[in-house]
Amino acid sequence: MPAIDLNHYNITAPIALLDEIRNFYCDTVGLVPGTRPPLRNAGYWLYAGDRAILHLSAAGEDEERLTHVTSTIDHVAFTCVDFPAMRAKLDALGIPYRDSAVPSMKLRQIFFHDPAGNGVELNFGPSEPSP
């Protein structure tokens, strides 16, 4: 059977960094903390609507997790609305970003990094007003 959808994305980090990452995705991208089953490690599930799309898991005390390193996973992408408001929010938060357009898809994008150095892409569709 083929995959039909992306279920969630997981980030594992030491708990102090995990809290910073949680706050970042809530404050910046607009995800909302929600119900999480009792799992082995502490953590959070962040929701977009009724879907827990970003899982945050605490690394074990003896587990080393590298941050701000290049790996084969480049970024996670979110579908968003209100391109001008998002740019204004990133500017107000002092988060460096770059934006681009894919005219053939009528798509605008914003790229930046989370506190652990993970790439984040925000996609805004054709129904968005021009900047």
**pLDDT given at position 84:** 93
Place domain 1-60 in its CATH homologous superfamily.
2,3-Dihydroxybiphenyl 1,2-Dioxygenase, domain 1 (3.10.180.10)
Are 124 and 109 in contact by the 8 Å Cβ rule? The answer is yes
Decide the pairing of beta strands 98-102 and 75-80. Answer: unpaired
pLDDT digit string (tens) for 25-44? 999 999 999 999 999 889 99
Q: How far apart are CA 121 and CA 83, in angstroms?
A: 12
Phi-psi label, residue 31: left if phi above 0, alpha if psi -120 to 50, beta otherwise: beta
Domain ranges of the chain: 1-60, 74-131
Are 95 and 28 in contact by the 8 Å Cβ rule? The answer is yes
Tokens of 62: 């003896």
- For residue 11, give every residue at least 6 positions away whose Cβ sits within 8 Å of its Cβ, in sequence order, or none: 18, 21, 54, 55, 56, 57, 114, 116, 118
| pTM confidence score | 0.89
**DSSP string spanning 73-94?**
--EEEEEES-HHHHHHHHHHHT
Q: pLDDT class for 48, splitting at 50, 70, 90?
A: very high
Tokens of 84: 């001008």
Query: 32-57 as b/e, with b when 16 or more CB fall inside 10 Å?
Result: ebeebeeeeeebbbbbbeeebbbbbb
pLDDT digit string (tens) for 78-103? 999 999 999 999 999 999 999 999 99
Q: How far apart are CA 112 and CA 74, in angstroms?
A: 11
**Does the 74-131 domain belong in CATH 3.30.920.30?**
no
